[in-house]
Amino acid sequence: MTTSNAASLAHSAHSMGTLTAISWILGPTDDMPATPFLMVYSIGDGLHGPEAGEAELRQTLEGMGVPIGGTVVDAGQDRGIGAHLLVEAERAVLTLPFTNAQCPVSAEWQAAAYENGHAILMVPVVPWPDGQPGVPVPEDRLQAFITSDEVVKNAAHIAVPVSRIQG
Give CA–CA dist 122/69, Å, rounded: 10
Q: How many C-beta atoms surround the C-beta of residue 100 within 10 A?
A: 14
In tens, the pLDDT along 67-78 reads: 999 789 999 998
CA distances from 90 to 9, 42, 65 (A): 17, 23, 30
Give CA–CA dist 42/20, Å, rounded: 6
Give CA–CA dist 79/3, Å, rounded: 28
- Output the pLDDT for position 167: 52
Give CA–CA dist 70/48, Å, rounded: 27
Average pLDDT, the chain: 88
Decide if pLDDT at 12 tops 50.
no
Decide if pLDDT at 13 tops 60.
no
In tens, the pLDDT along 24-64 reads: 999 888 888 899 999 999 999 988 999 999 999 999 999 99
Rg of the chain (C-alpha set): 15
User: What's the pTM?
Assistant: 0.89
Within 6-116, strands assigned E span 7-8, 19-26, 35-42, 73-74, 84-88, 91-96, 99-104
Amino acid in the structure at residue 1: M
